[in-house]
Amino acid sequence: MLARKLVKKFRSKNQTDHPAKTGFDRSGLVLPVAGIILLAAGIMQLLGTPERHVTIPMLAQADGLFELDEPSLASQYTNIPLTLPTQIFGAELSVIGVYTTSNEHLPTQTIALVYIRDGWRYVEIDYKPLSIEEQLAIASGRQDTTVTLSEEVEGIFFSRNTLGQCVGEGTDAYPGKCEIDRQLFFPLNEIVIALSGTSTQITDGEMIEIARSILEQGE
């Protein structure tokens, strides 16, 4: 009898100290499950946050600048005749601007056109009420090449030293632009036309052909 009581007491104590396992220890799942929930919440937040885009102005911003959608509207703000290029190498006209007051970049009445290709500014064409001599006197950079554009007109290339910095996304919806490091100046009647671009986006040969296509109509 005493032996049976001792065995029974031992079994009772052992069951109390070591409760029977009913499957698995759920406490070990708390951290993994919490991690999965946090990860899922983070993914949902990212998916629910709209992507932010930045629109880069293609023209130099200044007081008195009017940006237009159609070239024909330029005559409402300036008397300078606007001759569009017929050769533009697949680029598209993005914006037309007329500067009705002078600024550090352009004189009053200047018309500026910006063409985009492959999501980047391809060329800016400025029609300025200046003589070629006045333009060369204020041009930044260094004069390096003179080219024949027609029987009567020569163009003058200028180069600028830049860091080659670019801004913008470089997409069709949100085009970007890089620092201008190449310019071609030439006279047309009583104004001067300036073609400005980046050597990684436009070649000298393309600038020359664009200039010639303008001269063919305007001379």
Contacts 24+ apart (CB under 8 A), 137-143: 139/183, 139/185, 141/183
pLDDT (0 to 100) of residue 129: 97
CA nearest to 197, candidates 186, 206, 189, 188 = 206
Least confident of 20-29, 46-55, 121-130, 135-144: 20-29
Are the CB atoms for 60 and 105 separated by under 8 Å?
yes
Dihedral of alpha carbons 72, 75, 78, 83, sign = positive
Domain boundaries, the chain: 65-218
Spatial distance between the Cα atoms of 153 and 4, rounded to a whole number of angstroms: 123
In this predicted structure, the answer to whether residue 5 has a pLDDT above a threshold of 50 is no
CA nearest to 62, candidates 8, 102, 9, 21 = 102
Q: What are phi and psi of 99, to 5 degrees?
A: -95, 110
In this predicted structure, the answer to whether residue 58 has a pLDDT above a threshold of 60 is yes
pLDDT confidence tier of residue 61, bands split at 50, 70 and 90: very high
Per-residue model confidence as pLDDT tens digits over 62-77: 999 999 999 999 999 9
Full-model pTM: 0.77
Can you read off the two tokens belonging to residue 190?
């009583």
